[in-house]
Chain A
Amino acid sequence: QQQVKQSPQSLIVQKGGISIINCAYENTAFDYFPWYQQFPGKGPALLIAIRPDVSEKKEGRFTISFNKSAKQFSLHIMDSQPGDSATYFCAARRNTGNQFYFGTGTSLTVIP
């Protein structure tokens, strides 16, 4: 059973547009929600993360929106660039055991 559900599976955005990726979870024991960026053949790298006591976090062009009551969180990439083309994973960490659960990934393509 997928603990973190991610959509869409793939996304194509024009340069300068906004990319939006959504994730949902059920387990209320999750206490940390990171987003990772992965380029082909490389390991994922942390992009931005949020805790459930905050509804929004912004770092540069990247914003996480968090809705605790709906158990949903999303990544917004403003002014999307071709260099943002990568696979993005959302994740959630359980507050005991330090175990992370990942979404299935979104392949983002930004067209010049």
Chain B
Amino acid sequence: DGGITQSPKYLFRKEGQNVTLSCEQNLNHDAMYWYRQDPGQGLRLIYYSQIVNDFQKGDIAEGYSVSREKKESFPLTVTSAQKNPTAFYLCASSMLDPAYNEQFFGPGTRLTVL
């Protein structure tokens, strides 16, 4: 089965803790993305990466960090510096070739801060 997997599906965190959300894809896509989804605000880009060992900040990168050590993996760490981390987090991937534009999404991780 080709696709994007995210784990865990649900995650609970105490205030002051860092947590890492996993994202893996076996689509051989070069580009990977992390979005945050809040009710009424659509999808907002946190970070994206077009190549291994390189990534760029999106619109709401503060309080988050990422790494891209392998093409297949793009984990997101939500740090204690993120003031309002409770949200639904979506990982996506796409090819860089503009002829193949579709962005594929994972099933999401719902993070709740207790």
Contact = CB atoms under 8 A, between A and B. Distances in A.
Contacts of A46: 102-104
A32 B102 CA distance: 10
Contacts of B63: none
Interface in A9-60: 9, 31-32, 34, 36, 41-46, 49
B37 to A, nearest CB: 9
Interface residues of A, number: 26
B99 to A, nearest CB: 10
Contacts of B107: 42-43
B101 interface: yes
B49 to A, nearest CB: 10
A73 interface: no
A6 B106 CA distance: 23
Nearest to A103: B42
A39 to B, nearest CB: 11
Interface string A74-112: 000000000000000101010101111111110000000
B33 interface: yes
A41 to B, nearest CB: 7
A104 B40 contact: yes
